[in-house]
Amino acid sequence: MVDLPTKKPHMTFLFSDTGGGHRAASEAIIEAIHCLYGDAVITQMVDFLKDYAPPPFNHLPEVYPDLVRVPELWGAMFDISDGRPQARIVTSTFWPYVRRAARRLVRDHHSEMLVSVHPLANSFFLKALGKVRPPFVTVVTDMVSTHALWFDRRADLILVPTEMARQNAIHYTISPDKVRVVGQPVSQSCSAPVGDKFMTRQQLGWPQDKKIILLVGGGEGMGPLAEMARAIDESGLDVCLVIVTGRNSKLEAELKEKTWENTAFIYGFTRKMSDFMRASDVIVTKAGPGTIAEALNAELPIILYDKLPGQEDGNVDFVLSEKVGVWAPEPLAVVRTLTRWICRPDEREKVVKNCQRTARPEASRAIALILGNQVGLITDYSPNSV
């Protein structure tokens, strides 16, 4: 099935835990690579900030949750640094400070291919690699509002999740031949068919006779998640609430102590999110790209209640333009949307159909196939999206 090159190619994935999306995207692509090619390829993930960046940049993964809890500051940082001139200034200003670390990473991880899933891992490492280097592929993990640092003309290939992101790349003077729309990489479990909702609920111990409303706030449990949950619970709607607080253990404890009018299940960090989505009827979430992509694959109508200014603004536009959900930043707007979808099931069903149309469940495998082709691996698998 697989034609092996004379030497197993080594792929190094450059990511950092500034948000859960970069690690999750890397893991999803690597999972797909080994599903397609088995042990014919060696893969490795490197957190380039934590493991190699000089102080204080090596502490960015630790302080990231605090930074994004001040959305106005985060949005201002995004806007000020976005644009090709600004990206060049960022790179040239910090290169003297980080070049030794960047070159050390390149020496430590000799590879037949480098794959970047983080905007800060492009220009610096392309510069460190020099002119004689292995293929360098960027996988953009922001859905629409893609920062200029994602796009470096020296990259051999740039894989983006949406056509809007592709147009951004071209705007930033990337050759159209280098940019491919492949979708958002998510895990195999989040790409599987929806399956039997009844059986999934039974396995989870959830009720069968109520609409299941799934509320999530990203990996860090950010945003007014508790406020939205309380508003739905006090609305008079007869529903079941499933609330995922992620790594926010304090919020998890607070919600578990609360007396709920409706049936409510409170979870912290979980690896069952794909099952949760397939068993639910609506998701209420912040506008994270991975969560949106997973919801589309699960054919789950989306209510967006929060976003990070700058990088997640375009995600809201995407959800609205594709008619797969609504933007409802106020609790009353969330309750009104839920009431409408419950009382008018045909309206919700139209949104479900739009999710089916928009979803790209083959994204991770499409990316894996492209990367394999770049290093000479051959498989008989050929997704239509490539």
| Residue-wise pLDDT tens digits, 325-346 | 999 999 999 999 999 999 999 9
Helix (H, G, I), strand (E, B) or coil at 214: strand
Query: What band does 19 get if pLDDT is binned at 50, 70 and 90?
Result: confident
* Alpha carbon distance 74, 311 (integer Å): 9
- Is the pLDDT higher at 314 or at 70? 314
What was the pLDDT predicted at 38?
Answer: 93
Pairing state between β 136-139 and 179-181: unpaired
Q: What's the Cα-to-Cα distance from 242 to each of 23, 251, 263, 285, rounded to whole Å? A: 25, 14, 9, 12
* Alpha carbon distance 164, 179 (integer Å): 12
User: Per-residue DSSP letters for 241-276?
Assistant: EEEE-TT-HHHHHHHHHSPPSSEEEEESS-S-HHHH
What residue type is 23 in one-letter code? R
Fold agreement between 10-188+361-374 and 193-358:
yes
What was the pLDDT predicted at 219?
Answer: 57
With a pLDDT cut of 70, the percent of the chain lying above it is 95
Query: What band does 382 get if pLDDT is binned at 50, 70 and 90?
Result: low
Tokens 């375009």, located at residue: 314
The residues spanned by each domain of the chain are 10-188+361-374, 193-358
Maximum C-alpha span of the chain = 66
* Alpha carbon distance 227, 247 (integer Å): 18
Tokens 């998701």, located at residue: 283
The pLDDT of residue 105 is above 90: yes
The residues facing 266 across adjacent strands are: 243
Query: What band does 4 get if pLDDT is binned at 50, 70 and 90?
Result: very low
What was the pLDDT predicted at 220?
Answer: 59
Helix (H, G, I), strand (E, B) or coil at 184: coil
* 114 and 14 Cβ atoms separated by less than 8 Å: yes
* 68 and 74 Cβ atoms separated by less than 8 Å: yes
Q: What's the Cα-to-Cα distance from 226 to each of 69, 304, 328, 381, rounded to whole Å? A: 15, 14, 15, 44
Mean pLDDT across the stretch 289-305?
96
The pLDDT of residue 386 is above 50: no
Pairing state between β 42-47 and 10-15: parallel
* Alpha carbon distance 383, 386 (integer Å): 6
Rounded to 5 degrees, what angle do the CA atoms 82, 18, 371 make? 85
Average pLDDT, the chain: 92
Q: What is the pLDDT of residues 182-232, one digit of tens each?
A: 999 999 988 888 889 999 999 999 999 999 999 998 655 556 899 999 999
* CATH superfamily, region 10-188+361-374: Glycogen Phosphorylase B; (3.40.50.2000)
Which has the closest alpha carbon to 281: 201, 359, 226, 380?
A: 201
Tokens 């993930």, located at residue: 45
Query: What band does 381 get if pLDDT is binned at 50, 70 and 90?
Result: low
Contacts of 315 (CB under 8 A, 6+ apart): 143, 144, 145, 287, 288, 289, 292, 304, 307
Residue 83: which region, alpha, beta or left (left: phi > 0; alpha: psi -120 to 50)? left
The pLDDT of residue 68 is above 90: no
Q: What's the Cα-to-Cα distance from 175 to each of 41, 155, 290, 367, 386, rounded to whole Å? A: 29, 10, 26, 19, 18
* Alpha carbon distance 332, 231 (integer Å): 7
* Alpha carbon distance 70, 60 (integer Å): 15
What was the pLDDT predicted at 247?
Answer: 83
* Alpha carbon distance 138, 115 (integer Å): 6
Query: CB atoms < 10 A from the CB of 19, how many?
Result: 23
Burial tier of 180 (Cβ tally within 10 Å: 0-12, 13-18, 19+) = middle
CATH architecture for the domain at 193-358: 3-Layer(aba) Sandwich (3.40)
